[in-house]
Structure 1
Amino acid sequence: MWECCKCHEQNEETFSFCWSCGTSNDGIEDKSFQGVDEIAPSSIKGQPVLVTSTGLAEYPDQQKVELLACVKCGSENIIPNVRIVTHTEEFKKDLQVEIYENPKALIFKGTHTGTLTAYICGQCGYTEMYISNPQHLLNQYRKNKKI
């Protein structure tokens, strides 16, 4: 994690820009950065909104993620709940992430999985992926850290 020098928000190491203010991890401000308040459609301004770690606005209900506007271009032309698949020669299946129940085991690790879905901006193509059961995977991850 790194702390933004401008707004002091915590950011993931993989992010090179602050999700909250757009300042880079080396302190350079992005004058063109638009926060949620600037890009939100006028019909929802002032309503409670969550912001994901990448700055994407969504409704608080994690099981029913609703994209309000694209954070890259501000468009409301969003394609929701797009299925992400992986293909093999025999079949195709939903793309998933998995957390091990017992990560230190050599075999029989036990897995907990979550299916990925995407939201795609129909204007610029910006895409974000969401997991179907974030709370379950978070609980399993925290449990594993104690092992």
Structure 2
Amino acid sequence: MNCNKCGSDKIIPDLRITDHAHGNVEKNLSIYIQKTDHIFFNKLEQGELIAQICCGCGGVELTINNTDGLWEAYKKSKE
């Protein structure tokens, strides 16, 4: 695996981006898409952000997991 910016192979993959919230509780940063249109008890589809760092140039690339679930939730939200 090589960096898209500089071509270096000094890559650290699959890193979670974590927020230390109130009480120092760790929570991975995520994107949510609403799956239902209920006023109460909405269901959400979640995808966590994943980082890849190049130690050659300092570039950071973000990806997200659960792309299929997010896509389906997005399509449903547009109906």
TM over 0.5: yes
Q: CA deviation at 1:81?
A: 0.5
Q: Any idea what the Cα deviations from partners look like across 1:116-142, whole Å, max 9, x if unmatched?
A: 111111111111111121111111111
Q: Counterpart in 2 of 1:80?
A: 13
Q: Counterpart in 2 of 1:122?
A: 55
Structure 1: unaligned runs, 5 residues or longer: 1-67
* Equivalent residue runs for 1:1-147 within 5 Å: 68-90=1-23, 91-102=25-36, 105-146=38-79
SS across alignment from 1:124: coil
Higher relative contact order (CA 8 A, sep 6+): 2
Q: CA deviation at 1:106?
A: 4.5
With normalisation by structure 2, the TM-score equals 0.85
Q: Any idea what the Cα deviations from partners look like across 1:72-129, whole Å, max 9, x if unmatched?
A: 1111111001111011121111111100113x55443321111111111111111111
Structure 2: unaligned runs, 5 residues or longer: none
- The structure with more strand, counted as a fraction of residues: 2
SS across alignment from 1:72: coil
What fraction of aligned residue pairs are identical, expressed as a percent?
37
Q: Any idea what the Cα deviations from partners look like across 1:32-73, whole Å, max 9, x if unmatched?
A: xxxxxxxxxxxxxxxxxxxxxxxxxxxxxxxxxxxx221111
- The structure with more helix, counted as a fraction of residues: 2
Please give the root-mean-square deviation of Cα atoms over the aligned residues, in Å. Answer: 1.5
With normalisation by structure 1, the TM-score equals 0.49
